């Protein structure tokens, strides 16, 4: 491998790790909004657990991204001092919580994807990424199970719960396609054999989702409809700016302090 | 001797011998009622207490602080859960207990009716509010009612962890920039008096103390615990260079404890009666969580019923 190519790959890997971290952080931040407001105490606790796992994964990923960058930045620099256009998270993650059904559905659709992705990344030729993926996969397996069970419960529960979650399915669906559209960095890393081709994960993902929706008696949306995109390249929905303003305010207001 | 008197004597004899009372044991109605009131108030305090700290989850200044705060607030939910379960062993369902909270009938610790205005409040709450809670709760690990005492053992372990985390936040701020130190001092100024009011009215005014001490639900009086808290906390403030906002605070060599200034009991009773800065918001948040979550709970029961029916028809 020549040095120029190596640098390209290193840059792509850094961007990719940031993309993974950003999605976990933004989703974790959304989950924080639920804490203390959940419909059932046990589920409030379960959501916080997922939030904690996502934050833990975020920290490992940012620490790794900082090493790849080699600019002696910290995990907090990456979380608190980057702007809207620099965040690479999936649009799915930044969508507002809606009702409990929307939240568990958003989680389910993401974790179904993560389950497939991490299962491959754990064998990545990049050892650090593989190690983070392997650890995260254990957590993701639980998140997937919890969220799938709730989608089924709400879909096959009462008329009201079914109509609520079906409405959420129809609204959120347009944000699911982005997971399977590789960014330039993902393409680079796939060619280098470091990460799987996300386009190939779509069929398996659809299969999982279809199965769970069938058990939940929910209708699958038209999968040929338009899919929103842009998160991976930093072109977000209007929600992200507000989230970052809130999340980053102390670090922005009092720069360079220890907390 | 009537059988009732005999039962009461046996009951008191068990308590005097430090034998735990268990759910199926005979107990006087007043003992049961006192426990239901006290444990459910405690449970509600944990649950309502999630709100002021939850207010800073999305704004925590570092990822580590965010994760630690989320874990702390989650612990409080867990404490609420054990305590609601302890109430259930006394024959009151969780739903009933929660309905008493959202109807405004049940009380919770007034401290949570104060707003969390800056990040330093996360430090002050951990240090002072959890610190005061530990003073109150450690003796409860030896309370005469078994399920309560056992729940408190676990609660206290976690609370003492929270207290150290809170103090560590204060220490970091107090040794930080001038702005950070000011933030820490301001938080101490706002939380100090409400924290020392957490021990409740003075012994002379406390309606429940005497009987509760006899039943070993309570081991120390409000004033004893308050004094103990002040004596432990003042040196901690001094150590990190913060000033307790009480001009009358002075070490009393003779008594071997601190003298402190008069407590504004008008403020205390006003907050208890619902006039605190956040009483309305806290109750509303709990009410909304409960009513907006009704469809989720209904769906979960409907689904469980359907599943049970399907399983039964399979067996048939």
ipTM: 0.96
CA dist., res. A235 & res. B240, Å (int): 46
Helix (H, G, I), strand (E, B) or coil at B246: coil
In a mutagenesis test of the A interface, which of B71, B122, B296, B304 is the best target, namely the one with the most A β-carbons within 10 Å?
A: B296
Contact between B106 and B33 (Cβ < 8 Å):
no
Burial B86-107 (b: 16+ CB within 10 A, else e): bbbbbebebeebbebbbeeebe
Check whether A176 has a pLDDT greater than 70: yes
**CATH entry 1.20.1260.10 includes domain A7-220+230-253:** yes
CA distances from A203 to A53, A77, A106, A193, A215 (A): 27, 37, 19, 20, 19
Each residue of A52-73: pLDDT tens digit?
999 999 999 999 999 999 999 9
Average of per-residue pLDDT across A186-209: 98
- Would the CB atoms of B59 and A249 count as touching at under 8 Å? yes
Check whether A87 has a pLDDT greater than 80: yes
The pLDDT value given to residue B66: 98
Closest-CA residue of B relative to A58 is B63
The pLDDT value given to residue B184: 98
Find residue A218's DSSP bridge partners. none
Check whether A4 has a pLDDT greater than 80: no
CA dist., res. B130 & res. B160, Å (int): 7
How many other CB atoms sit within 10 Å of the CB of residue B308? 10
- Would the CB atoms of B300 and A153 count as touching at under 8 Å? yes
In a mutagenesis test of the A interface, which of B72, B73, B74 is the best target, namely the one with the most A β-carbons within 10 Å?
A: B74
DSSP H/E element including B258? strand B257-259
- Would the CB atoms of A100 and B300 count as touching at under 8 Å? no
Contacts of B239 (CB under 8 A, 6+ apart): none
Contacts of A8 (CB under 8 A, 6+ apart): A188
CA dist., res. B83 & res. B40, Å (int): 7
Each residue of B106-127: pLDDT tens digit?
999 999 999 999 999 999 999 9
DSSP H/E element including B252? strand B250-252
Angle, to 10 degrees, between the axis of helix B222-239 and the axis of helix B130-137? 140
Check whether B302 has a pLDDT greater than 80: yes
The pLDDT value given to residue B5: 73
Residues from chain B contacting residue A160 (CB–CB below 8 Å): 295, 298-299
The pLDDT value given to residue B1: 55
Check whether B160 has a pLDDT greater than 70: yes
For all residues of chain B together, what is the average pLDDT? 95
Evaluate the CA torsion angle A54, B128, B149, B29 in order and state its sign.
negative
Each residue of A92-123: pLDDT tens digit?
999 999 999 999 999 999 999 999 999 999 99
Contact between A121 and A129 (Cβ < 8 Å):
yes
Residues from chain B contacting residue A33 (CB–CB below 8 Å): 57-58
The pLDDT value given to residue A1: 43
Each residue of A144-175: pLDDT tens digit?
999 999 999 999 999 999 999 999 999 999 99
Each residue of B216-238: pLDDT tens digit?
998 899 999 999 999 999 999 99
Contact between A167 and A219 (Cβ < 8 Å):
no
Average of per-residue pLDDT across A121-133: 97
Q: Classify B85 in phi/psi space as left (phi over 0), alpha (psi -120 to 50) or beta.
A: alpha
Average of per-residue pLDDT across B157-186: 97
The pLDDT value given to residue B2: 67
- Would the CB atoms of A55 and B179 count as touching at under 8 Å? no
CA dist., res. A147 & res. A153, Å (int): 10
CA distances from A22 to A50, A83, A128, A197, A232 (A): 16, 12, 18, 20, 10
Contact between B250 and B71 (Cβ < 8 Å):
no
Candidate from B61, B73, B306 with C-beta closest to A259: B61
Average of per-residue pLDDT across B259-288: 96
Please report which confidence band the pLDDT of residue B204 belongs to, taking 50, 70 and 90 as the band edges. Answer: confident
DSSP letter string over B114-125? Answer: S---STHHHHHI
The pLDDT value given to residue A5: 52
Check whether A2 has a pLDDT greater than 70: no
For all residues of chain A together, what is the average pLDDT? 96
DSSP H/E element including B259? strand B257-259
CA dist., res. A112 & res. A72, Å (int): 34
Confirm whether pTM is higher than 0.90.
yes
Candidate from B64, B80, B172 with C-beta closest to A41: B80
- Ordered by start, the domain boundaries in chain A are 7-220+230-253
Q: What is the CA radius of gyration of chain B?
A: 22
**A122 backbone dihedrals φ, ψ, rounded to 5°:** -65, -15
CA distances from A170 to A97, A163, A173, B182 (A): 15, 11, 6, 50
CA dist., res. B287 & res. B120, Å (int): 28
Average of per-residue pLDDT across B291-296: 97
Average of per-residue pLDDT across A193-201: 98
Check whether A17 has a pLDDT greater than 70: yes
CA distances from A59 to A56, A130, A256 (A): 5, 15, 19
């Amino acid at each position: 491998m020549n040095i120029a190519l190596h640098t390209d790959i290193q840059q792509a890997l850094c961007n990719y790790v940031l993309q993974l971290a950003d999605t976990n952080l933004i989703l974790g931040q959304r989950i924080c909004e639920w804490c203390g407001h959940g419909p059932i105490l046990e589920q409030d606790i379960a959501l916080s657990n997922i939030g904690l796992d996502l934050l833990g994964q975020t920290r490992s990923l940012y620490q790794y991204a900082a090493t790849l960058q080699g600019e002696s930045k910290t995990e907090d620099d990456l979380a608190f001092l980057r702007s809207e256009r620099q965040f690479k998270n999936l649009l799915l993650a930044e969508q507002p919580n809606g009702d409990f059904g929307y939240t568990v559905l958003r989680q389910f659709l993401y974790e179904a994807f993560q389950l497939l992705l991490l299962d491959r990344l754990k064998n990545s030729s990049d050892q650090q990424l593989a190690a983070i993926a392997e650890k995260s996969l254990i957590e993701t397996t639980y998140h997937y199970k919890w969220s799938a069970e709730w989608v089924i419960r709400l879909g096959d529960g009462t008329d009201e719960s079914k109509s609520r979650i079906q409405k959420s399915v129809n609204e959120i669906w347009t944000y699911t396609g982005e997971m399977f559209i590789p960014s330039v960095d993902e393409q680079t890393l796939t060619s280098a054999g470091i990460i799987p081709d996300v386009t190939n994960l779509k069929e398996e993902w659809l299969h999982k989702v279809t199965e769970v929706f069938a058990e939940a008696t929910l209708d699958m949306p038209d999968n040929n409809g338009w899919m929103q995109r842009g998160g991976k390249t930093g072109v977000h929905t209007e929600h992200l700016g507000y989230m970052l303003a809130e999340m980053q305010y102390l670090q922005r207001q009092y720069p360079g302090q220890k907390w | 001797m009537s059988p009732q008197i005999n039962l009461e004597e046996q009951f008191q004899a068990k308590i005097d011998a430090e034998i735990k009372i268990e759910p199926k044991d005979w107990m006087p109605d007043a003992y049961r009622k006192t426990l239901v009131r006290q444990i459910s108030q405690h449970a509600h305090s944990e649950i309502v207490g999630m709100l002021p700290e939850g207010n800073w989850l999305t704004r925590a200044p570092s990822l580590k602080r965010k994760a630690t705060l989320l874990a702390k607030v989650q612990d409080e939910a867990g404490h609420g859960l054990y305590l609601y379960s302890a109430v259930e062993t006394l024959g009151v369902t969780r739903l009933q207990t929660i309905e008493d909270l959202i109807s405004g009938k049940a009380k919770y610790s007034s401290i949570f009716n104060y707003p969390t205005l800056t990040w330093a409040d996360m430090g002050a709450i951990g240090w002072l509010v959890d610190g005061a809670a530990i003073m109150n709760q450690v003796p409860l690990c030896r309370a005469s009612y078994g399920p309560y005492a056992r729940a408190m053992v676990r609660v206290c372990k976690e609370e003492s962890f929270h207290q150290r985390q809170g103090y560590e936040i204060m220490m970091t701020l107090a040794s930080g920039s001038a702005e950070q130190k000011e933030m820490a001092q301001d938080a101490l100024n706002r939380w100090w008096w409400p924290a020392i009011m957490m021990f409740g009215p003075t012994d002379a005014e406390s309606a429940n103390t005497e009987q509760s001490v006899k039943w070993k639900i309570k081991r120390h009086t409000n004033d004893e615990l308050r004094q103990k808290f002040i004596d432990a906390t003042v040196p901690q403030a001094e150590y990190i260079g913060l000033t307790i906002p009480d001009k009358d605070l002075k070490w009393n060599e003779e008594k071997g404890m601190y003298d402190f200034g008069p407590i504004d009991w008008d403020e205390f009773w006003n907050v208890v009666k619902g006039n605190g800065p956040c009483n309305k918001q806290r109750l509303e948040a709990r009410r909304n969580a409960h009513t907006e979550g009704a469809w989720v709970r209904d769906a979960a029961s409907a689904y469980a019923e359907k599943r049970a029916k399907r399983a039964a028809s399979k067996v048939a």
